[in-house]
Amino acid sequence: MNNTGEMLTVAEARKRILQGAEPLPSEKVTLADALQRVLARDLQAGLTLPPWDNSAMDGFAVRFADVAAACADAPVSLKLVETIAAGHMPVKTVEAGEAARIMTGAPVPQGADAIVPIEHTDGGTEDDVAILQSPRACGAHIRRMGEDVQAGQVILQAGTELTPARIAMAAAAGCGWLDVHARPRVAILATGDELVEPGQTPKPGQIVSSNSHSMVAMVQQAGGVPLYLGIARDEPEDLLARMQGGLHADVLLTSGGVSVGDFDYVKLVYERLGMRMDFWKVAMKPGKPLAFGHIDGVPVIGLPGNPIATAVGFEQFVRPLLRRMLGHTRLSRPVITARLVGGYRKRDQRLHFHRVLLQQDGNAWLARSAGGQGSAMLYSMARADGLAMIPQETSVLADGEAVQVQVLNTDVLGECHADE
Ligand code: AMP
Ligand code: MG
């Protein structure tokens, strides 16, 4: 173990955790399972889009030369040769003096070179139609074959996160299966004699293991697959047995027991399992004791037990690691600049994460405390829109001074209107 107890900055600790991490190998998924996954290789269109010239309007396929002079005072009458519905190929060629009734999305027939919307006609009969307004130009309201995408073209590049729009693009281009990076499987272990499983009623001296749920949910939110290992007692044997069960995962995550208390056996057990301890202290608040290393090549992160320290540590270190494994290139939450209402004072040289509510004030953002900031106080974390970051070296921030805020609830950004 690194007994010198070197205390790293948050940035340095994150760098070390990400250093050895690679995107996981790829797997094939259907489009129904592709949302938020990351493409492992470039995706080429299997189909040309549109596959053929087609009508952008319900109306009439005409020869532009026939109707170039049409107007309400001098309508042009054309003979109707057929009706073309979407999903059906035209049978007839449109000759001079003729037109075909056509629906949106139906293929444009041979001979026709413009579409007249039905609103610019008398609506037509079974046999003919009067054109009351000429199309703007040859080609009007025709969606050209290949104007969107050509077969073989790279439509989505490796490293792209799959959004609904990109899944639609792949679907239209005939790509039903996608190569994406596998989801990291994250073994999750809570530790502590005082803990009972969520759903159980705590006896005197006991509390509910909220970290069990927060870690499972944070892993899911980050795109990983949680494997919950339960609660280990503060006994080396129980910790060892349960941790061993987690070493088949891609990441092992524990909460609690990494501090300097009498029953903090987690680091000891890591060592017994052969952990190369990289570091176990980070200059942050909440969450100074935070252990990182590898056991049999599996990254292991020992988060502190205080619920907010667990959550903040996860946000700073685990989420970026999981996103890296998923193939994402943007690993952190969005950060905005806000004015910190009420200012801030601190004595230590640690980076503080201060739970805040965000509110827009003209073109600026205001960040105000979300409530009590104790590292075990869940209420303010549950309300918080983000984490204001008070830099290590800062001891005083005046009321309204600028601060960087990591946004956890990105929906709040949607309230941003440049014209307000
Ligand atoms: P530890 O890091 O084990 O010393 O725990 C620090 C504090 O966090 C103690 O008050 C624990 O009771 C609390 N704690 C540890 N694990 C959990 C958990 N899974 N859920 C809620 N609180 C916890
Ligand atoms: Mg404990």
Q: Do 113 and 218 sit in the same domain of this protein?
A: no
| Atom nearest to 289 CA in ligand 1 | 2
Which tokens is 212 given? 């069990």
Please state, in angstroms and as integers, the Cα–Cα distance from residue 144 to each residue in 45, 112, 136, 161, 179, following that order.
17, 13, 16, 29, 30
Pocket-forming residues, ligand 1, beta carbon under 6 Å: 190, 192, 194-195, 207, 209-212, 255-257, 259, 261, 264, 304-307, 376
pLDDT number for residue 415: 57
353, part of any domain: yes
Whether residue 322 is found in the same domain as residue 373: no
Q: What is the pLDDT of residues 250-292, one digit of tens each?
A: 999 999 999 888 888 999 999 999 998 999 999 999 998 999 9
Q: Are residues 190 and 316 in the same domain?
A: yes
* Structure tokens, 68: 């170039």
**Percent of the chain surpassing pLDDT 90:** 93
**Which residue, 282, 308, 326, sits at the end of a domain?**
326
CA of 256 to the centre of ligand 2 (A): 5
Number of domains comprising the chain = 4
For 8-47, the pLDDT digits (tens) are 999 999 999 999 899 999 999 999 999 999 999 999 999 9
What local confidence, expressed as pLDDT, does residue 131 receive? Answer: 98
Q: Is residue 1 part of a domain?
A: no
For ligand 1, atom 12: residue with the closest CA: 194
Flag whether 226 is in a domain: yes
Residue type at 303?
L
Q: What is the CATH number of the domain that holds 305?
A: 3.40.980.10
Which ligand has the shortest distance to the CA of 202?
1
Q: Is residue 418 part of a domain?
A: no
pLDDT in tens, 333-358: 999 999 999 999 999 999 999 999 99
> Which domain CATH number covers 376?
2.40.340.10
- Is the per-residue pLDDT at 2 higher than 80? no
Q: What pLDDT was estimated at residue 418?
A: 46
In this prediction, residue 276 carries a pLDDT of: 87
Q: Which of 109, 116, 114 is nearest to 90 (CA)?
A: 109
Specify the pLDDT at position 259: 86
For residues 217 and 97, state if they share a domain.
no
Specify whether 174 is located in the same domain as 33.
yes
Query: DSSP of 44-71, one letter per residue?
Result: E-SS-BSSS-EESSSEEEE-HHHHTT--
CA–centroid distance, residue 289 to ligand 2 (Å): 12
Domain CATH for 120: 2.170.190.11
Over the stretch 181-228, which tens digit does the pLDDT of each residue have? 999 999 999 999 999 998 999 999 999 999 999 999 999 999 999 999
**pLDDT at 416 (0 to 100):** 54
User: Do 190 and 236 sit in the same domain of this protein?
Assistant: yes
Quick: pLDDT tens for 139-170: 999 999 999 999 999 999 999 999 999 999 99
Q: Which ligand is nearest to the CA of 289?
A: 1
Determine, yes or no, domain membership for 5. no
Residue 371 contacts residue 379 (beta carbons within 8 Å): yes
- Closest Cα to atom 15, ligand 1: which residue? 305
Atom of ligand 1 at shortest distance to CA of 194? 12
Which residues constitute the domain of residue 68? 54-143
- CATH number, position 173: 3.90.105.10
Closest ligand to C-alpha of residue 310 is: 1
112 and 172 housed in the same domain = no
pLDDT score for 366? 98
Choosing from 180, 198, 228, the residue where a domain stops is 180
Let me know: does 88 contact 175? Beta carbons within 8 Å: no
User: For all residues of the chain together, what is the average pLDDT?
Assistant: 96
Say if residue 169 is in the same domain as residue 111.
Answer: no
**197 shares a domain with 316:** yes
- Which of 146, 167, 151 minimizes the C-alpha distance to 37? 167
The pLDDT-based confidence of 420 (bands split at 50, 70, 90) is: low
Pick from 143, 162, 191: which residue ends a domain? 143
The C-alpha atoms of residue 213 and residue 315 are separated, in whole angstroms, by 15
The answer to whether residue 257 is domain-embedded is yes
Model confidence over 356-375: pLDDT tens digits? Answer: 999 999 999 999 999 999 99
Is the preceding peptide bond at 307 cis, omega within 30 degrees of 0? no
For residue 287, the ligand closest to its alpha carbon is 1
Nearest-atom index, ligand 1, CA of 306: 8
Q: For ligand 1, atom 23, name the residue with the nearest CA.
A: 305
Residues 6+ apart with CB under 8 A from 150: 45, 48
Ligand 2 centroid to Cα of residue 245, in Å, is 20
Per-residue tokens: 297 = 């090549």
Q: Are residues 44 and 103 in the same domain?
A: no
Q: How far apart are CA 265 and CA 181, in angstroms?
A: 35
Same-domain status, 77 and 190 = no
Average pLDDT on 385-397 reads 98
Q: How far is the CA of 382 from the centre of ligand 2 (A)?
A: 22
Q: Are residues 343 and 403 in the same domain?
A: yes
Nearest to 310 by CA among 369, 381, 262, 250: 381
Range scoring the smallest mean pLDDT among 2-6, 8-12, 55-59, 384-388: 2-6
Q: What percent of the chain has pLDDT over 70?
A: 97
